[in-house]
Chains A and B, each alone.
Chain A
Amino acid sequence: MSQVRQYELVYILAPEATEQEVADLHTQVEAIITRYQGELVKTENWGRRKLAFRIGKHREGTYVLEVFKGTGELTKELDRRLKVIDSVIRHLCVRVDEDLRLAERTRARREAETARRIARGLPVGGRSRRSDDDGGDDEPIDRAEV
């Protein structure tokens, strides 16, 4: 029916939430994903962070990131469920497969271009002096603060 796509879901829990509650919510989310034949790719707990502005009466929140594959119905259901849960103060679910594919494609094209230029003995393009270190692109610098 509908297509399987990759999504990223980030939700913020109220700072009062205990470790247990965070784990509970995670298992709940996981259960929903499996119920809708989705697949959890990766989960990351960023821990407690300061919010850039107040949400309700909170100034801090516990951030959790879940990357999963699933259908549109799954995201709809997750959205609905997260809205109901009081301890979740904010959540965001975005589709990432297309962007990642595009990024991958441009990277591949650039690498092919570089290889071609090297093979022909032409100068490697770009103003960047560090054209050979290409690895650090998709690694976010600081993620896990505590």
Chain B
Amino acid sequence: MAEERRSRGGAGSKVRGNARGAEKGGPRRGMFRRRKVCKFCTDKVDYIDYKDAKMLLPFVPERAKILPRRISGVCAMHQRKLQTAIMRARQLALLPYSTD
């Protein structure tokens, strides 16, 4: 009896183990994300101009919030410069602070 129970328990744990393994494998399987590269680095932009609203526009989608760099893939240095440029452009009403 005791042996049976133990073995049953063992089987159970094994099953659970497999399930966990499948969960772990889930997101990895078939999800190849392209490595994002900084737009400003590839285009070799040294100075992000706050006066150029057309250039800044893709970095302030619909709600006019600044696009985080985990999404845009912009490098840290350029994100900092971009942030200043966007804030300056907002003061001059070239870009909105918010939209609804």
Contacts and interface: CB of A to CB of B under 8 A. Distances in A.
B46 A102 contact: yes
B91 A92 contact: yes
Contacts of B45: 137
Contacts of B90: 52
Contacts, number: 63
A61 B93 contact: yes
Interface of B: 37, 41-47, 49-52, 54-55, 88, 90-97
Given A55-B93, A128-B42, A94 B47 contact: no
Interface of A: 10, 12, 51-53, 55, 61, 63, 65, 90, 92, 94, 99-100, 102-104, 106-107, 110, 126-128, 134, 137-138, 140-143
Nearest to B97: A53
Contacts of B91: 90, 92
Contacts of A53: 93, 96-97
A103 B48 CA distance: 9
B45, B90, B92, B97 pick with most chain A CB within 10 angstroms: B92
B88 A99 contact: no
A90 B37 contact: no
B42 A126 contact: yes
B93 A51 contact: yes
A52 B47 CA distance: 23
